[in-house]
Amino acid sequence: MIDLTIKIAGAAGQGMQTISTILARSLTRQGYRIYCYQDLMSRIRGGHNFSTIRISDHPVGGLAEETNILIALNAESIKLHSGEMISNGVIVFDGDKIKYHDDDQNLFPVPLEKLATEAGQNRIMVNAVACGVCFNLMEYDFDVLADTLGDIFAAKGDAMVEANIRAARAGYEYARKNFPEGTCPYCQLKVKSERSQARLLMNGSQAAGLGAILSGLKFMSAYPMSPSTGIMEYIASKQQELGIIVEQAEDEIAAINMALGASFAGVRSMTATSGGGFALMTEGLSLAGMTETPLVIFLAQRPGPATGFPTRTEQGDLMFSLYGGHGEFPRAILSPGDAEEAIYCMNQAFNLADRYQIPVIILGDQNLNDSYWTVDDIDTSLLSIDRGKLLDRWDQTKGEYKRYHPTPDGISPRLIPGSPGAVGYWDSDEHSEEGHIAESASVRRQMMAKRMKKLHGLQEESLEPLVCGEGDEVLLIGFGTTKWPVIEAVETLARKGEKISGLHIGQAYPLSAGIGETAKGFSKIVVVEQNATGQTEKLLLTELGIKASGAIRKFDGRPITAKYIVDSYEALD
């Protein structure tokens, strides 16, 4: 089984992301499974940044804590990450610019900048040289790298493509001549996978944008806020081709109200933000609840409060997404664990929003939005467009159109404004079934009961949890991007003799009754989450009566890992 980790580290602006993109795309094409996490500081240049690529022949979605190959673009990166190397791992750095010696480390100095200047005629091609070195260390075919470079730089012309390939070849040959074959067995991809045409490489933002497009999105408004901005950027890149309007609003208040207006007019719309922006959106969120206007909101979490860690990851907004907005109204919250799941969650979100005429929130985080995963060929048979009770005309034989007419399921027919056959009224105040402002106690009771009825249907069709493992004593429960670390931790603990299983919550609210049914069979339940106050643990208790016997929490801005879960589990009383 292959499980190889490459880390590229340096200051912002040194080409770290270019190297990781080239390597990840090259190996995805060969059929390998990739997980690539970006650890970035919130600055344009300088600071310490690194990208970690995990390569395997089986599905992976979380970080390993040891590194096989470190490409250090400055001296600081060696000092910070040398302690993470496996035995016999390799540290690659520019020996002409960085003077470093350590008898306990497997060091491989390469004149990266010199080779880039000589072979590519430009020192910025250091990233291509580094990729060539890395491919040789992995003992993998250079032609695979050359093909990827050709595709990535095609838009810049043949001369740029050829220069990058020459630079990569120079790095490859330097490694071949100066680092003998077989001296670094733990850095090799010993099995040559077959080229895969179907498998994709995308981050969570791209996946969410693609899922929205495949679900019939026609309007998006948002104000840029990391780590949600990538969703808007992806959709904007497709807007002319697909006839989608993307509006960069002046702030998050305008963004949610524009999206509400578009939805009110009858098109599928969405907005995206992070915690600080969502705080500004909560009045608009309540407006959607009162007017029963469908709306999809992607909330990409980052550590707070205030600006917090703007480029790091956390799961601290679960309760905020559930209770944000004044007053009580139904909503749904989805929590995808990887890019592939994000595609299908977006489709579910748009259908739920339309069917129940409610706001639906997708909880992502910096890990989901900025990390890259391999995605298998998208199964379009699992995607659908269900607009619910949306009408484009009103039959006069039905009598007066009443926008908020009570129904057994709480969902009233929604008429597109301006449609023939009826006049409609909508109001942000409490209103009668006709849509007129009302202040009577009886109308208030009637309308609240009508809206809250939707929770019954939402509960009945909540997404079932994903269960892994075969143990029947211990259950690890997580949501969102704890998915793959939990799966891997369960596998590790099972090999150690624990009778353990894992459960991934893909819908955080309403919680599926299946979670409660599954949990009944276990004597010990441990909740894994990335926040300080145990928000998932509290939600499981209040909504399903599930009382955890242990908790594993991480809130330092970095993704949780399987090793962290295993070590924390073994330290529990």
Q: In sequence order, what DSSP letters do the residues of 470-524 get, joined into one string?
A: --SSEEEEEEGGGHHHHHHHHHHHHHTT--EEEEEESEEESPPHHHHHHHTT-SE
Residues 324 and 355 reside in one and the same domain:
yes
Domain contains 415: yes
| Rg value, the chain, Cα | 26
- For residue 541 the two structure tokens come to 């208790």
Domain contains 229: yes
Burial class (CB in 10 A: 0-12, 13-18, 19+), 446: middle
Domain contains 458: no
Q: Please tell me the predicted confidence (pLDDT) of residue 297.
A: 98
Residues 150 and 237 reside in one and the same domain:
no
Domain contains 459: no
Residues 401 and 266 reside in one and the same domain:
no
Q: Please tell me the predicted confidence (pLDDT) of residue 180.
A: 72
Residues 15 and 154 reside in one and the same domain:
yes
Residue 202 pairs with which residues in a beta bridge? Answer: 373
Pairing of strands 219-222, 245-248: parallel
Which parts of 313-381 fold into alpha helices (H)? 318-323, 339-356, 366-370
Domain-ending residue, one of 382, 397, 413: 382
Residues 363 and 408 reside in one and the same domain:
no
Domain contains 455: no
Domain contains 66: yes
Which residues in the chain show pLDDT less than 70? 181-185, 190-198
Q: Please tell me the predicted confidence (pLDDT) of residue 47.
A: 82
CATH code assigned at 235: 3.40.50.970
Residues 333 and 312 reside in one and the same domain:
yes
Which of 360, 379, 358, 345 is closest to 504 using CA atoms? 345
Residues 113 and 22 reside in one and the same domain:
yes
Q: Please tell me the predicted confidence (pLDDT) of residue 179.
A: 83
Which of 520, 568, 570 is closest to 544 using CA atoms? 520
Burial class (CB in 10 A: 0-12, 13-18, 19+), 115: buried
- Please state the domain count of the chain: 4
Residues 166 and 266 reside in one and the same domain:
no
CATH code assigned at 551: 3.40.50.920
Domain contains 266: yes
Domain contains 450: no
Cβ–Cβ under 8 Å, residues 540 and 551 = no
Domain-ending residue, one of 197, 223, 256: 197
Residues 259 and 355 reside in one and the same domain:
yes
CA 403, CA 415: separation in Å to the nearest integer? 7
CA 278, CA 376: separation in Å to the nearest integer? 32
Q: Please tell me the predicted confidence (pLDDT) of residue 105.
A: 79
Residues 412 and 364 reside in one and the same domain:
no
- Residue 122's region, left for phi above 0, alpha for psi from -120 to 50, else beta, is beta
3-state secondary structure of 562: helix
Domain-ending residue, one of 382, 405, 429: 382
Q: Domain of 486?
A: 466-571
Q: Please tell me the predicted confidence (pLDDT) of residue 461.
A: 94
Residues 190 and 205 reside in one and the same domain:
no
Residues 170 and 206 reside in one and the same domain:
no
CATH code assigned at 24: 3.40.920.10
